[in-house]
Structure 1
Amino acid sequence: MRIDVYTPLVLSLLLAAVAPQVSRRVSPALAARVLTAAAVITAAATTWALVLLAATLINEAPPVTEEARAEGRTLPEPVPEVIGVAALLALAVIAHRFYRAVRTEATTRRTLRRLCEGHPADSELIVAASPVPEAFAIPATARAPGRILVTAAMLAALPPAERRVLFAHERAHLTHRHARICTAVTLATAANPLLGPVRDAVAFLVERWADEHAADAVGDRDTAARALARAALVAQRARRACALAFTDRAVTRRVAALRTAPPPHLWPMAAAVLTLGILPALGAAAATGDLLELLEHILD
């Protein structure tokens, strides 16, 4: 089997390396979409490449080796046996990781749905009487619309103009279905742990995307930056994670971004990232042809 089967793994490292730079230079909405698409395609390609490597163990199956010996044929060895075994073990680990990721996502969604119980179906905003300053979006389901949950402590900490920023930020998560993007990249990373930096970049980008949406909605980037900084400060004083679900360093970067002009789309860079995601699929497709040739040789 040629080197094609290994290209998805190598390109995974390259995609992970460029993801942080893309998150800084390209418009958040565009960058989040192309990185997620590239991650999903790459994860599928790497998983299939491992399937192909594991499939080469068919050469070691007793019926195949006995038949070849009886006919005096020599079976080709496309990859060393140890690589095939390693690929098989890797697939078992991936299956376990993927199962855990799916279960975690399902548990999280059930928990979020419970928070909406008892509230009118047409109510977008839910205010929780909690002393902990928090705010987050609850994604829509087939049975219920998306909701925005804000605690009384968070509302009390923000003046009216900054509350509008907060609501616009959370509404952006719902409008642009950020939960689906995050779920897709999380499952891709479960299938290919090398894509961890891509997952982190996308998680940051969806927050930046919502920040830009909020700034546009209120028409004032400075107000959006102040709202984000105040929410983070209030949450830090409460010794909890940032109300917008990010570390202090990430919040600092987001505030700094709102203090400057919106980043450009940079379509060429976005196209290059998407191409980088497609290349592993091409490598896996070429490796599939190699495997089919191997099977044809064995069955002849």
Structure 2
Amino acid sequence: MRVDVYLPLVLALLLAAVTPHVGRRISPALAARALTTAAVLTSAASTWALVLLGATLIDEDPSVASEAREGGRHLPEPVPDAIAIASLVLLGVIVYRVCRAVRSHQASRRALRGLCDGHPPDSELIVAASPIPRAFAIPGSPGSPGRILVTASMLSALGPAERRVLLAHERAHLTHRHSVLSTAVGLAAAANPLLVPVRSTVTFLLERWADEDAAGVVGDRRVTAYALARAALVSQRTRSRCALHFSEHAVARRIAALQTLPPPRLWPIAVAVLGLGAIPALGAVDATGDLLHLLAGPLLG
């Protein structure tokens, strides 16, 4: 247990370190899925590792210690009490961070869906009469499709081909349920701050994924890059503080990527990333078995 229980914490650092390289070398769709899965597994394993470390304080319980002494048994101390106490404190911090992230996510969902009030339920596109250029996808609830909200000022700033790019980009977010991946990696980073670089990379990859889909629909990567640049320029002029998903998130890097060939789907790298996420989970399982074995003898006699 002394090694396995710390393995998820160490491998979280390794996953964060390799994430940027993975994002640059394989297709955005494959990279986003693999990194999100690995982040969720690593976050769950590291949280469970803290639970195991905290559980070693069971030998401090008066009733347990008294029963062990009466039976002439010795309770093991897998880790120092200071580490176990620190683990419980960290678990409290994790609960707070995850609850805050969930509340923030729910508030954002309610605000976005509130923008759809008064519009027909079967309308995919909502055009808002606003001078601020905005364009983003509004995820739907289970069983209902999502919506695309675009302001009139954004549409007026783009030509016909560029509007197709914008709509195809936002439609890709809805079709591939990018909100699920975004929420999952966001909660993983909330539970384990070491994974914040993974969350940032996945956010960028989801935009790149939608860019590639839009380029495929329009059939012209140059037009897609121009539409992205045009939308970003309009947004900068207005100095809007709103979340403009189409024209934010490392626009220069996205434009540069669209001026090259689509990245390959290198499955070996994706499998390696998934393995990097599976190892902490296996380590946590092994550490659980070790702790139960250590405690079973003294407690059960």
| TM-score, shorter chain, exceeding 0.5 | yes
Match of 1:270 in 2: 270
Q: CA RMSD in A?
A: 1.3
Paired residue secondary structure (1:76): coil
Evaluate the alpha carbon distance shift between residue 298 and residue 245 of structure 1 in structure 2; reply closer, same or farther with a 3 A threshold: farther
Q: 1:72 Cα shift?
A: 3.8
AA aligned to 2:99 is Y
CA contact (8 A) 1:34 1:273 kept: yes
Match of 1:43 in 2: 43
> 1:88-103 residue pairs with structure 2 within 5 A?
88-103=88-103
How many residue pairs get aligned? The number is 299
* Partner deviation per Cα, 1:200-241 (whole Å, 9 max, x = no partner): 010000000000000000000000000000101110111125
* Partner deviation per Cα, 1:230-256 (whole Å, 9 max, x = no partner): 1011101111257336657x1000000
AA aligned to 1:15 is L
Q: Does 1:57 align with 2:57?
A: yes
Q: Does 1:123 align with 2:123?
A: yes
- In 2, distance between residues paired with 1:20 and 1:56? 36
Match of 2:245 in 1: 244
Evaluate the alpha carbon distance shift between residue 164 and residue 247 of structure 1 in structure 2; reply closer, same or farther with a 3 A threshold: closer
Paired residue secondary structure (2:114): helix
Percent identical residues: 67
CA contact (8 A) 1:29 1:206 kept: yes
Evaluate the alpha carbon distance shift between residue 55 and residue 246 of structure 1 in structure 2; reply closer, same or farther with a 3 A threshold: farther
Give the alignment's TM-score, normalised by structure 1: 0.97
Deviates more, 1:35-44 or 1:63-72: 63-72
Q: Would you identify which runs of 4 or more consecutive aligned residues in structure 1 move more than 6 Å?
A: none
Q: 1:178 Cα shift?
A: 0.3
AA aligned to 2:39 is A
- In 2, distance between residues paired with 1:38 and 1:143? 27
* Partner deviation per Cα, 1:126-149 (whole Å, 9 max, x = no partner): 000000001000011136421000
AA aligned to 1:151 is T
Paired residue secondary structure (1:226): helix
Gaps of 5+ in 2: none
> 1:98-177 residue pairs with structure 2 within 5 A?
98-142=98-142, 144-177=144-177
Gaps of 5+ in 1: none
CA contact (8 A) 1:2 1:290 kept: no
Q: 1:280 Cα shift?
A: 0.2
- In 1, distance between residues paired with 2:240 and 2:252? 16
* Partner deviation per Cα, 1:37-91 (whole Å, 9 max, x = no partner): 0011111111111111000000111112223333443321100000100111111
Match of 1:184 in 2: 184
